[in-house]
Amino acid sequence: MKQLAVLVSGEGTILQEIVADDIPIAAVVADRECPALEFARKQKLKVYVIGNTDKEVTLTRALIAILKNEKIELVMAAGFMSILNRAIFCEFPHPIIGTHPSLLPAFPGPKAVEDALKYGVKISGCTVFRLTARIDAGEIIAQRHVRVQDGDTVESLHRRIKVEEWNLVPQVLRKIMDLPYD
């Protein structure tokens, strides 16, 4: 079984779903203090906080050191909002996967749900994909569709996308980690 690290920055809802699905986590790494860390600590998970730094090279170097020290073989970026320097993809040979609230390659970037609504799509969704040096451009691992409803706001559509994301991420991790399905 692969050693999994989960990267977090916010509420930790994806982390909570991973834990609820009994997927073993070797370490939780955050780029700042956040509610996800409170949850991780209550679960008695090993926690690392990389100090608040706006220097992506410094943050990436610290992350690489943690991943190597913990012998991590798979990284799940679960709402991790910092940009990683391309060095991680050279120095850390194992998969780093992330999620995005659109059906990539459509609507990359931080305003994906808003952009989808502005464009007038009838179907949106979420993507689990392999991170690369190019933002939101890696190999697509899995996607889930979410129908856009009349009167949807960014918030209402994003809530429904998150529900699909919460279900999809543990399924993808189980497959990658060769864990049985319940």
Quick check: 43 and 35 in contact, CB under 8 A?
Answer: no
Instruction: Please state, in angstroms and rounded to a whole number, the distance separating the CA atoms of residues 54 and 59.
Output: 8
User: Has 100 been annotated as catalytic?
Assistant: yes
- Active-site hit among 94, 100, 145, 158: 100
Instruction: Please state, in angstroms and rounded to a whole number, the distance separating the CA atoms of residues 111 and 114.
Output: 5
CA distances from 85 to 14, 64, 92 (A): 23, 11, 12
Neighbours of 3 (CB within 10 A): 17
**Residue closest to 97 by CA, chosen among 136, 125, 68:** 136
CA distances from 84 to 9, 81, 135, 141, 164 (A): 13, 9, 10, 20, 26
Q: Known catalytic residues?
A: 100
